Structure 1
Amino acid sequence: MSNVKWKTLIITSLLCLAPILIGAYYYSELPEMVAIHFNFKGEPDSYMQKNYFVFLLPILMALLQVYLCYKNDVVNNGLKTPKVEYIFKSVIPLTSIIVYLLSMGITMGIQLDLRRIMLVFLGILFILIGNYMPKTSGYYRTKVMLNGNLTGLGFIKNYYNMDPDLRKRHYTVFGYILFIIGIIYLFSIFLNEVFTMYILIGTILIVLIYTVLIYFQMSKKA
């Protein structure tokens, strides 16, 4: 418990809850069903009941933030905080706020280019992570424990016990990959929806391929 960074945990969790104030203020203007998911053209294709959206969704995001912050701090056990950790811990709060406001705005009839807004957000996020990951110590570990135990998945166990020098090299390579992807995301705002779909699929494939490469490299080291 003494290793938990309570200030960061509390501030980021409160940020997750902050949208409730906005939702409560505009509560009477919201329809009974609020758009929460959109297709590649920015058109809503899934909805949530208003009370759940305004109150329950931010609470669930705050609980998830508390859990991930706590687990991350316990795993890294008092190590010096790298800058990339602050970015990781800001992902859920910022995403919650942006998606919440966009969903409210579109549901209330405000014309917003959802695709471009999210591409800019993701592009900046990937660039920041990509910039700081190569500067992160190999002793720093992202949250890799399931329910407090290294159970079930050999990959998770191997990653947790990975040689710090090897982990540092992976941080560096993956950081460069994310930085390049972030640049592509920013440039893609000038292109159409079809290209957006391709780069999203490409991002998933790149991450999966790189994860497989890490797995085989760890298997050789084991």
Structure 2
Amino acid sequence: MTACSRSYSRILLYSLTLVLHVSNKVVIDARHNEISENPDIKAYYPLRNRFFTGWIVFLHMVYSGIGLICESLKIKHSSNEEYELPKYLKRFRDFLFSVFIWPSTWVVFLVFWVLYYYNRHLVCPLFVDKLVSSNSNHIMHTFILPFALLELVLYTYNQDGVWLYPIFKVMYGTVYFPMIPITVYIVILTAYYAQWSDKKKPELDDTKLSLFPDSTEITKSE
């Protein structure tokens, strides 16, 4: 597989990431416009940029943007075998992935879904569904993991010229390679929809677990 082919694969991954997150934000903003008068949403929406998930999604978008620049430069100078990316750009991308993207993605994915499976009220009160749909939720809390895993595989190969596992070498360049993150995503979705379906979860008062003032208090303050 040529260097250009590898660059095109990463460009596809970065482009998909940006499209998903940008379109997801547009959808959430559109839903907000329809329910902006809801008292709970009024309290929740202004705090959206303070949630850790929002920071990680933003970093994924920044990383994808930098990745597009790097891979575009590689393709542009593909005729020059001695070409190397600017050191500051390469170091920043490597630093961003190894220090922030990789570890924080696992934190968001594991902490959110473990608590959600136990009792969703602890991290995602019911009223949030009015703003964030199930699909939007998965884009922010599920898709980030397959992205990080696939990027680690491509990152290692581009950096060291070796695959993490020999099977990746066999599958790369075939239709089966993109099936890896797709399979992971399907497994996660299956686990999500089958979550403790036969086990009764503790019933908790959604209002008591809310981080926001009671709806009547908001109305009075207005």
- Where on the TM-score scale, by shorter chain, does this alignment land: which range? 0.3 to 0.5
Which structure is larger by alpha-carbon Rg, 1 or 2?
2
* TM-score, length of structure 1 as denominator length: 0.40
* TM-score, length of structure 2 as denominator length: 0.40
Which structure dedicates a bigger proportion of its chain to helix? Answer: 2
